[in-house]
Structure 1
Amino acid sequence: MLLQAACVLLTACLPLATAGPVSRPKAGFDWSSTKALIAFGDSYTYVQGTHGHQNFSFIGDQFNLAYTSETLLTNKIVQNQTATAEGGPNWVEFLTKCGIKEGLTSPQSCKKQLWDFAFAGADISTEYTPLHHNFTVSLVDQVNQFKQYGHPALKHTIKSQLTLIAIWIGINDINDSAQYAVDFPTFYKSITDALFDSVEDLYGLGYKNYLFMNLPPLDRTPGNQAKSSPSPNATQVEWYNSALAEHAAAFAGKHKDAEVMLFDAHARLGAILDEPAKYGIVNTTNFCPGYDQPDIAVNYENYGCPTPLDKYFWFNSGHMTSHVHQVLAEEVEDWLRR
């Protein structure tokens, strides 16, 4: 009943098992006029910054949450092999065309500025799952940090009405809690309650445009494909995605002036796994063991890899290759332009 309500409240709704968006942008949303994207999330979304925690963030960490406006505005996106968790640009970089070139990029130099507050290894809230490291910044704290330091620094640089908030979170939550002895639908509802409490904070700052990404098919990671009983399993992923859809629908119903979009990343990535040849991918079942070697791009065969990394779906045991992120970003952009 709740999922049916979610479909009614959102502008359009497709079953999670089919390829396509869960909700489409409204006629009033104009991606071409969007000047900035502010991102929150985990390692699927994080980008390295010159003032960030190495291999984890664009700026700061749990021990260094405070920063000045000057520190943020002079921060630069780093693009190299280790600057994301994907071995190259990730989806928000491809989507904004910001920070995709090797070297350093100031977000302010991009046509669509990318301000990324995601933290690799983040869960939504420590109320439900523990931090991966003592320096990890959870989604709740990412938003709190942004409220205190990011928004005051950016409010004179970008316009909220021309800004899109992008949130992709839950991957670590579902992995970390997969073996909990809980009623999972209820548990996932509680986690997403905490998520949308933070989204309410962002709305209170004046941001009205939101893009949510649901969970990828985590039951099809290399490790899970080798198991007779994947963890998390497909049902758990579906339960979480249903909770996210219901919360997004409720948020859209509560805030009629907000643009609330939920992209079905689960279905789109599942479609790539089902028909990889369409996307130039030949390996969907495992990953190159030398993925993190500095010469992997040219000497992949030395590490037992028959093809370059961009022919793999999985970059490592839990992350997708930069090539898959590029394909996904192109589809998200096409969808945003409709």
Structure 2
Amino acid sequence: MLIGIMLIDQLEFLTNCFSGRPLDCAIRQLWDFAFVGADIDGNLLPLHHPFTVPLVDQVNQWARFASGILPRPQAQTITAWWIGINDTGDTVNNASISDFHSFFEEEMDSFFSAVETAYSTGLRGMHLFLTVPPGERSPGYLGSPSAATLQAHVDEFNKILLQHARIFAQNHAATPVLVFDAHAWFNYALDNAPALGFTNTSGFCECTNEKGFFWYNSGHPTELVHQQMAGALEEFLLSVSI
């Protein structure tokens, strides 16, 4: 089964658990505690949307309402974490932050405090972290003077994420800890778009027939991108489990 603590459409394709009760999913269960537009901590950044539930609060919901109820057999459970896309974007024009390295370190401390909460309340199987993709290559940032700033924020966030993931792994030697490089995969997919079936990587199509489009809107990829990344993620998980 998969516990998703961050919105990750790829997990739906990875599990074939798209709707209904997770307990009724035939192949793998997917329990998703994510909320749209989440940053890591509402005490560190303003809410991305007025109704957003930040990641630390998502984890508290798991700990309070679900940890004593949901099944999570250690050898059969992956806890997946994909966070930072909104954090790196929401800091681009944030004039209140003068030292972004220190800020992302503070965010990561809050993030991994939440990871420790998840671990201490029963999620002791594999923990899977995903890096932040290159948002500067999305239609919303192509040609924008803010693109270089976003790229720098993403690179810094990912570097600090890897450091904290290594520390978490060292402190929990019995727990498998993996990092999937979504940043590298997005760059690969965009660089090889025609071979993957994409004919448009600079525009977007908010439509039901997204054929050929990499981007659904100015910052979110299409369903086919999610599906293909799920395939790459599954190959990655199988390769490290052999």
Distance 1:313 1:272 in 2: 9
Structure 1 residue 228 displacement after superposition: 3.9
**Per-residue CA distance 1:111-153 (angstroms, 9 max, x = gap):** 2100001100111001210113343211000000100001122
Distance 1:175 1:320 in 2: 16
Residue 261 of structure 1 aligns with which residue?
178
The answer to whether the Cα contact below 8 Å between 2:35 and 2:54 also exists between their aligned partners in 1 is: yes
CA RMSD of aligned residues (A): 1.4
Residue 2 of structure 2 aligns with which residue?
37
Distance 1:138 1:231 in 2: 26
TM-score, normalized by length of structure 1?
0.67
Cα distance change on mapping 1:134 and 1:222 into 2, 3 Å: closer
Unaligned runs of 5+ in 1: 1-35, 46-89, 298-307
- 1:98 pairs with 2:17: yes
**Per-residue CA distance 1:38-59 (angstroms, 9 max, x = gap):** 00114xx2xxxxxxxxxxxxxx
Structure 1 residue 214 displacement after superposition: 0.5
Structure 1 residue 232 displacement after superposition: 4.3
Of Structure 1 and Structure 2, the greater helix share is in 2
The answer to whether the Cα contact below 8 Å between 1:96 and 1:114 also exists between their aligned partners in 2 is: yes
**Equivalent residue letter for 1:120:** V
Distance 1:126 1:319 in 2: 22
- Count the aligned residue pairs: 235
Residue 30 of structure 2 aligns with which residue?
114
Residue 151 of structure 1 aligns with which residue?
67
The answer to whether the Cα contact below 8 Å between 2:3 and 2:78 also exists between their aligned partners in 1 is: yes
Distance 1:317 1:142 in 2: 26
Distance 1:187 1:210 in 2: 24
- 1:322 pairs with 2:223: yes
TM-score, normalized by length of structure 2?
0.92
Unaligned runs of 5+ in 2: none
Residue 30 of structure 1 aligns with which residue?
none
**Per-residue CA distance 1:282-328 (angstroms, 9 max, x = gap):** 1110102xx1xxxx43xxxxxxxxxx413111110111111000010
Distance 1:92 1:165 in 2: 11
Q: Select which of 151, 172, 190 maps to 2:106.
A: 190
List structure 1 segments (4+ residues) > 6 angstroms apart after TM superposition: none
- 1:333 pairs with 2:234: yes
Distance 1:225 1:239 in 2: 20
Match of 2:147, SS?
A: coil
Structure 1 residue 231 displacement after superposition: 5.9
**Per-residue CA distance 1:247-268 (angstroms, 9 max, x = gap):** 0001001111111101000000
**Equivalent residue letter for 1:310:** K
Match of 1:152, SS?
A: coil
